Amino acid sequence: MVVAILRVVSPIEIPIGLGLSEANWRFSGPKYDNLHRKKSRLSVYSLYTTSKYACVGFEPESNGKFQIRSSLVANPAGEATISSSEQKVYDVVLKQAALVKDQTKSSRKSTDVKPDIVLPGTVYLLKDAYDRCGEVCAEYAKTFYLGTLLMTPERRRAIWAIYVWCRRTDELVDGHNASHITPSALDRWEARLEDLFDGRPYDMFDAALSDTVSRFPVDIQPFMDMVEGMRMDLKKSRYKNFDELYLYCYYVAGTVGLMSVPVMGIAPESLAEAESVYNAALALGIANQLTNILRDVGEDARRGRIYLPQDELAEAGFSDEDVFTGQVTDKWRSFMKRQIKRARMFFEQAEKGVTELSQASRWPVWASLLLYRQILDEIEANDYNNFTKRAYVSKVKRLAALPLAYGKSLLIPLSLRSSLSKA
């Protein structure tokens, strides 16, 4: 019997290879009750867990080898290791969490902000820059903009500045001039990012972000990684497996969570580790992007792009051609059900972190989580036709989510609740 300790950094589905029968593998560990076993078709066994550590004991097959596929791989010694994408992303999470801890340890708390530096004219220019960021935000993301109005003025304008930088970065590869964008244009965008982090902004939007990153403990890495995601979009239109897709989702969306938490702030009464809050933030970005992908299957296919894992498509009996043709069959419905389930697992993990955020930041985050998650319900309501029907959450439903989000934002941190219930 070999026991592998797996460090799980996000809700994860671990299909254990063909040939292992239920009799010769079992699960144990401190969070055993968080593990769900599932036997799926083709006798592939899956382990679902949202806990941080899982301990898996299993016997080798008759040939002495272990077959563990997808997110986890077994090394020749038979030890299971975390996938390279998850490890890479987790390292960024640790780095960002450490930055916040350092800041909290040193005299200033992460919730404090530097006073405005009063150079003649500077404050006014900065105010204009932030106001413009707010206008852009209100124009592109009305509901989210409304949500930010509950935050403190310093946090609100910092989030607007981050939003605008993200929107502009995405516009480079998705906007009107996208056909002219080359990798070297992205290199220049990245150099500009470094300049603004060094206090040398190029335009007024950069000036707002430059000010934001000087006030809050935000690391440059998630920003650089988002540019990397855009580079990926220029050169890649297929994803071999979920591991590759996960990395892409981190680059273009998980990064947003890591950029935002240092500004939103963790509740002073929260007992959660910064690292776990960052993991939840990362999960929200991943969940949102997976949802985007599932909503836009047809639209992406018409641009020659398929953001669904190629190995999972093939296993379910689909070729690229099938995706381009776009027939909603029972086979497609059950494939979609699995994809939706995975996206929901990431939302579930994100939920655990929202209550740990500072009170005023929770409402926009809950609103965004509830609204995005509803897109998955709409894909189901469209009978899984994501080829020609765009899943759309009606204005009434969107508005109805706002008071619900507000109610949830009043809950005390989960970490505090569980320690109170133990006491």
Where does this chain bind ligand LST6JFWI (CB under 6 A)? 144, 147, 159, 162-163, 166-167, 170, 174, 252-253, 256-257, 260-261, 277, 280-281, 284-285, 288-289, 292, 350, 353-354, 357, 364-365, 368
Residue 122 CB, nearest approach to ligand LST6JFWI (Å): 24
CA–CA separation, 274 and 60 (whole Å)? 38
Q: Using alpha carbons only, how large is the chain's radius of gyration in Å?
A: 22
CB-neighbour burial class of residue 47 (10 A; exposed 0-12, middle 13-18, buried 19+)? buried
Q: Where are the alpha helices (DSSP H) in 296-329?
A: 297-302, 310-315, 320-325
Angle at 37 (CA atoms; ends 32, 40), nearest 5 degrees: 170
| Structure tokens that stand for 146 in this block | 């409304």
What residues from 172 to 211 belong to the interface with Mn ion (CB under 5 A)? Answer: 174
Q: Which of 40, 44, 53, 45 is nearest to 10 (CA)?
A: 53
Using CB distances below 5 to 8 A depending on partner kind, what does residue 6 bind out of ligand LST6JFWI, Mn ion, none? none
Which residue's CB comes closest to ligand LST6JFWI?
Answer: 353
Nearest-approach distance from CB 240 to ligand LST6JFWI, in angstroms: 19
| Residue 281, binding choice from ligand LST6JFWI, Mn ion, none, Cβ under 5 to 8 Å by partner class | ligand LST6JFWI
Check binding of 299 to Mn ion (CB under 5 A): no
Task: State which residue, 56 or 343, has the beta carbon closest to Mn ion.
Answer: 343
Report if residue 59 touches Mn ion, rule: CB under 5 A.
no
Q: Which is nearer to Mn ion, 167 or 408 (CB)?
A: 167
Shortest Å distance, C-beta 171 to Mn ion: 8
Q: 312 and 241 in contact (C-beta within 8 Å)?
A: yes
**Using an 8 Å Cβ cutoff, are 265 and 361 in contact?**
yes
Which of the choices ligand LST6JFWI, Mn ion, none does residue 252 contact, using the CB cut-off of 5 to 8 A by kind?
Answer: ligand LST6JFWI
> Taking Cα atoms as reference points, which of 358, 369, 360 lies closest to residue 393?
369
Decide whether 35 or 245 has the Cβ nearer to ligand LST6JFWI. Answer: 245
Residue 289: contacted member of Mn ion, ligand LST6JFWI, none (CB under 5 to 8 Å, by partner type): ligand LST6JFWI
Residue 95: CB partners within 8 Å, gap ≥ 6? 219, 221
Least gap, CB of 145 to ligand LST6JFWI (angstroms): 10
Least separation in angstroms between residue 391's CB and ligand LST6JFWI is 13
Candidates 59, 61, 79, 170; binder of Mn ion (CB under 5 A) is 170
Asked if residues 327 and 384 have their Cβ atoms less than 8 Å apart, the reply is: no
Q: Which of 151, 114, 112, 117 is CA-nearest to residue 134?
A: 151
